[in-house]
């Protein structure tokens, strides 16, 4: 066996398709030693990104749209994989499997009958690449009473945990989630709330690009304390874990309701939203005595956001996961490569203390080529 897996992640930020090539091996002490060999980000075509964004909210004839977009997404995934193989001079037969998250269009963990949907026709992805695909990772956890999220803490534990330091791994995508790796304690983790999603929406609404590069637009504004308090008043931030959320909840309509009482300057809104993401993370961690905070996801490159986090955690070392050997952009895709590996090795991919599931289970389903 080659031990080579491809991980694919396209997150709630809708910035594109992240791919990683990982070799999973063992040390002499039988410890897992994943080796990240290469990574690639391919932006979504504009129309596909717009259609995916449309599917995160209810709309007319959305079932028809979902069917069409699911096929386009699978073809986009397959094109990315085939480019990746060519770049690395690999044939499909050299890859054990693709671990693909799919694109979340609904995540309703608090519904009367909780459900989650990640789209992308995995049979088509397998057929177009001639590689076995492992996908649909969240629904089995939900079948056992869990929220199906977050799933990355098990991977964070496998590669980032250390016996001598209380580490937190913070992923800031469209939604932010955190993993608490406390020595000699069960792993904990949950969604803290909005990550980049509301910030991205606001700057797009101003016609200033898809995201706030380096936080420069936020830096031109001022924090509005009344707006910040209003944003933080949402009941989600008082919930205890396990908890998870998505763009279906923290969406443009939610933000519009918070803004309707006052006419704020656009740059001040951007600055306040940036602080809001940082402050909601602080609220989530409460009095946790973490020693190190490692950031991954697109938010790791927002300098204003990172400065806010360092201000809010003055006694904690705040760094990117690159200092641990995995670039901020690559962590989530690598997690889904690991989940495919875990499926093959029959290793549970969820942590009941994190998701609320009744037991730890092997996650995913296989789609043959």
Average confidence (pLDDT) over 101-109: 95
pLDDT for position 30: 63
Same domain, 137 and 232: no
Q: Are residues 84 and 119 in the same domain?
A: yes
Alpha carbons 7 and 98: distance in angstroms, whole number: 6
Closest CA to 194 of 183, 202, 204, 206: 202
Evaluate whether 326 touches 346 at the Cβ level (below 8 Å): no
Q: Do residue 258 and residue 170 come from a single domain?
A: yes
Q: Domain check: are 121 and 210 in the same one?
A: no
Give residue 12's pLDDT band: very low, low, confident or very high (50, 70, 90): confident
16 is an annotated ligand-binding site residue: yes
User: 8 and 131 in one domain?
Assistant: yes
Which segment of 25-29, 87-91, 221-225 scores lowest on mean pLDDT? Answer: 25-29
Question: Is 12 a known ligand-binding residue?
Answer: yes
DSSP conformational letter for 221? S
Same domain, yes or no: 276 and 354: no
> Residues of the chain with pLDDT > 70: what percent?
98
pLDDT > 90: percent of the chain: 91
Q: Are the C-beta atoms of residues 328 and 176 closer than 8 Å to each other?
A: no
Which secondary structure element, helix H or strand E, spans residue 118, and what is its range? strand 115-119
Q: Find the DSSP H helices in 286-330.
A: 303-312
Report, as an integer, the average pLDDT of 149-154.
95
**Same domain, residue pair 106 and 177:** no
Share the mean pLDDT of the chain.
95
**pLDDT tens digits for 170-214?**
999 999 999 999 999 999 999 999 999 999 999 999 999 999 999
Taking residues 114-141, what's their average pLDDT?
97
pLDDT tier for residue 27 given thresholds of 50, 70 and 90 = low
How many Å is the maximal CA-CA distance in the chain?
Answer: 62
Per-residue pLDDT at 57: 84
| pLDDT tens per residue across span 269-289 | 999 999 999 999 999 998 899
pLDDT-derived band at 234, boundaries 50, 70, 90: very high
Check whether 116 has a pLDDT greater than 70. yes
- Same domain? For 41 and 97 the reply is yes
Closest CA to 108 of 301, 310, 253, 245: 245
| 321 annotated among ligand-binding-site residues | no
DSSP strands (E only) in the chain: 4-9, 17-26, 32-42, 97-100, 103-108, 115-119, 133-135, 167-172, 175-181, 188-194, 292-296, 317-320, 365-367
Provide the pLDDT for residue 263: 92
- Three-state DSSP state, 292: strand
Are 188 and 55 found together in one domain? no
The answer to whether residue 113 scores a pLDDT higher than 80 is yes
Number of domain units in the chain: 2
| Alpha-carbon span 334 to 322, nearest angstrom | 13
Report the alpha-carbon angle 167-169-171, nearest 5.
165
215 lies in which domain range?
A: 152-324
| Co-location of 124 and 72 in the same domain | yes
Measured CA to CA, the distance from residue 178 to residue 316 in angstroms comes to 15
Model confidence at 151, pLDDT cuts 50, 70, 90, reads very high
pLDDT of residue 60: 87
pLDDT-based confidence at 29, cuts 50/70/90?
low
Check residue 31 and give its pLDDT: 65
Degrees, nearest 5: CA angle 174-180-183: 160
Whether residue 241 is found in the same domain as residue 294: yes
pLDDT digits (tens, 9 = 90+) for 291-334: 999 999 999 999 999 999 999 999 999 999 999 999 999 999 99
Report the CATH number that the domain containing residue 209 is assigned in CATH. 3.30.420.40
Q: Examine the pLDDT at 1 and tell me if it is beyond 70.
A: no
Same domain for 172 and 223, yes or no, is yes
């Amino acid at each position: 066996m080659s031990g080579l897996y491809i991980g694919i992640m396209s997150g709630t930020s809708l910035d594109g398709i992240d791919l990683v090539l990982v070799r999973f091996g063992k040390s002499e002490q039988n410890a897992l030693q994943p080796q990240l060999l290469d990574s690639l980000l391919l932006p979504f075509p504009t129309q596909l990104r717009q259609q995916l964004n449309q599917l995160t909210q209810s709309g007319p004839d959305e079932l028809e749209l979902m069917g069409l977009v699911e096929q386009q997404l699978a073809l986009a995934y397959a094109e990315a994989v085939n480019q990746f193989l060519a770049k690395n001079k690999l044939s499909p037969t050299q890859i054990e499997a693709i671990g693909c998250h799919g694109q979340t269009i609904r995540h309703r963990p608090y519904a009367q009958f909780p459900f989650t949907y990640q789209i992308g026709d995995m049979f088509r992805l397998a057929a177009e690449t001639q590689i076995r695909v492992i996908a649909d990772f969240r629904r089995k956890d939900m079948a056992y009473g869990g929220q199906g999220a977050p799933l990355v803490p098990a991977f964070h534990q496998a590669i980032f945990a250390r016996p001598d330091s209380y580490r937190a791994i913070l992923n800031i995508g469209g939604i932010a989630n955190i993993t608490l790796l406390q020595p000699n304690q069960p792993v904990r983790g949950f969604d803290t709330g909005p990550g980049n999603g509301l910030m991205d929406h606001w700057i797009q609404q101003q016609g200033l690009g898809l995201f706030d590069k380096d936080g420069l637009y936020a830096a031109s504004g001022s924090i509005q304390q009344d707006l910040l308090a209003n944003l933080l008043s949402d009941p989600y931030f008082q919930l205890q874990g396990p908890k998870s959320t998505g763009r279906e909840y923290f969406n443009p309509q939610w933000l519009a309701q918070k803004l309707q009482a006052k006419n704020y300057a656009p740059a001040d809104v951007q600055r306040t939203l940036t602080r809001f993401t940082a402050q909601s993370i602080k609220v989530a961690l409460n009095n946790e005595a973490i020693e190190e905070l490692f950031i991954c996801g697109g938010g790791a490159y927002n300098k204003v956001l990172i400065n806010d986090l360092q201000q809010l955690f003055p006694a904690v070392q705040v760094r990117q996961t690159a200092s641990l050997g995995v670039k901020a952009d690559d962590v989530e895709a690598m997690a889904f490569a690991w989940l495919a590996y875990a499926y093959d090795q029959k290793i549970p991919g969820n942590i009941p203390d994190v998701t609320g599931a009744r037991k730890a289970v092997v996650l995913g389903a296989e789609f043959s080529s």
